[in-house]
Structure 1
Amino acid sequence: MEPLKPFGKQQGQVRVPVRRSVLQRLEKDPGALVAEIYSATLELTGGAIPGADDVPLAVRQLFQAEHYRRQVISAGHSGFIAAAEQDLSLSLADIGQALQSSGADAHLALFDQMQTWVALNPEDAEDLTEDEPALVALDAPFRALELSKGLSTALGRWTALQPVLKPVAEADWSPSLRALAHSTPTQAVRHKSASLAAIARALSDPARLGFGMAAASQSRPDPVVHHGPCVQLEVGPGGDASRGRPLQTISGLRIGLREAQGFSLYEAVPNSGDCPGLSGLRTDRLDDFLLHHPHSTGRRLAHVSMERVKTASRICKALRAPAAIHALLEALPQPASATCISVHAIAEASEGGPGLVAMIVADQASRAFAARITEKGAVLLSEPSHESLVTLSRDQIEAAGVS
């Protein structure tokens, strides 16, 4: 294996903020640095895949390689190709460079086989909708590699050598990212558009909306912090296999199942009695956790019907809830970025017409709010104190320019 080396050409004008505590744990947990940079990149782009000029080259390459790793763990190589959100050739070039530069030779060998298939089957790759046998054959060796020597270890140690990171204190991380995302008018406009689109997806995608509603509908609401990828799980006492979605809530790990009548939330039961807890695990590393510590479902904690989810989606659209939530968070003295949104209640508002209450986890789960939205306007409350922080009329929401 070649020694670790910095990548030759860098965009030196930008350094991505990372917490000093994460850098200090580099030797013990290099994957934490990869997760930090991955989250930071999503924050800088408003949740979008980074383009050529969004972040330094080495950061973009790390992001693409980590995105590839996460996709393959959750959906296989076929799933990675099918879910490509931009020019696949650009993504493959970034991934290949990151794997080569980080010395991840065994992962690179598998990646090259996938890349060869794409080159030989460009039309199939562009319209891939089901598992391709040649690609499926790469999945088990990849997962075996992850269990023995994870790709994040190589990527984290390589990236730490690049002159593209800016160590900051814990309390300064989210504000630093936000300042960087709004450092030019063009970046600010793009970040606003991407952030609004991410909120809109959270309130319209049936799975995200349904599982969030189930979590928030419990007698003690337990909003979702992170939606994990779909994975194969053992369901019920018979151990039947089914596709489920791991969810990190305020209380801990849960499993969401989409069933015929709606969306259900279940306890997550480790298949091994000595499974460690989730303390210290970043919420965006559920794929790593479940790869090493498989879980099955326990008792059902909550259920929300498909009809109620559809009603909530219609109300969110009618009230322009994404625009309202975005405007509320932007109006704070220290503006916040939504990480996850769980609709807690939908009902007729006291002044007539529909209304909803949404629970908002923001700034990478470091802040929490609740939003009450009606046809006349919206109010943002702090959680758990319920202190009123921001009140906006419908005209003010419209004037914010994001409706």
Structure 2
Amino acid sequence: MAGIYIHIPFCKKACHYCNFHFSTSQEKMPAMVEAIKKEAALNRNYLAEEIATIYFGGGTPSLLKEEDIRQIIGQLKMLFEVAADAEITLEANPDDITETTAAAWKAAGVNRLSIGIQSFFEDDLRWMNRAHNAQQALNAVRTAQQLGFRNITIDLIYGTPYLTDAMWLQNIETALALGVPHLSCYALTVEPKTALAKMISTHQAEDVDADKQARHFSLLTERLRSAGFEHYEISNFAKPGMRSRHNSSYWLGRPYMGLGPSAHSFNGKNRQWNIANNSLYLASIEKGIVPFEEEVLTNTQHLNEYIMIGLRTSEGISVSALAEKSGSNLVEKVMAAAAKHMQRGHLVLTGDRLTLTEEGKFLADGIAADLFVET
């Protein structure tokens, strides 16, 4: 089973924290839709497996015309063997969700919405430079539910400078009251070359507080666990049976194809990524050439990716799988590095599985880096 990701590189506004590839000019959007459909045809032999998931990301895919979404899905179904029960996700901003748009998306085949709410507080949304307001955030979820969407996830951001513990808990409670079955919650990250990075460097904004972020993470995990959510990946929480099938495939190392500028693809051995430039991407596709760079992963890179991604999930990493991928000598090195984290209470070995404890989850990236095998 494989997945297809479609990157729609357009937004109404530039959020202060975002470092994804996008343009606030939508002039090239019609040409981009045609280029993405053409790229799919050019890459029709990239995936041999049945397509289990299709994911519209960005950028802001909800800016697309409803007919564009229908045509892209139709093109993919014509070119690939798409499972009858395929999960088809559309990332949507709250201000784009109306009864008309939601109904059209559903009719086009979209069966899962990922709504970029980030916060239910007006001041927080203005600080992030989001395009929607707090009331639109509430209305978006309710409208989607009324139109028959049951598989809905919302994004929330914690650890922002002006988000108090009480406000963060209220954000969580608001999400729970809405009855959404999945939440993706992210600590605010200061990425290079973003407006936020510049604001912090020029003292126009406070830097992130790691202690507060850790506290918010703890409040989040405790409250969602008590509400019956599975904490199945560091940033993702789902009611039983409502995990993201698309993202879960990434974490399981399954193949996927990315369409659109900056989109990544993985066929099990090689990783490739399209050029992150809309004009150059369009010009290249017009000539029948997919503009990408490629990296052939070494065995060590495969192993380290397995450690990095596996530790982020509730299933953790399998010691026997490590042995199969690397040999007993390297496993001994990995387990020796893991021992100190087990002593600190950040890792636990249960049978064949090495998993992060609740305390260790907030330190996941650093712990994984300690376990990496050197070439």
Task: Confirm or deny a common fold (TM above 0.5).
Answer: no
Task: Give the alignment's TM-score, normalised by structure 1.
Answer: 0.26
Q: Select the structure with the greater relative contact order (CA < 8 A; seq sep ≥ 6).
A: 2
Task: Give the alignment's TM-score, normalised by structure 2.
Answer: 0.28
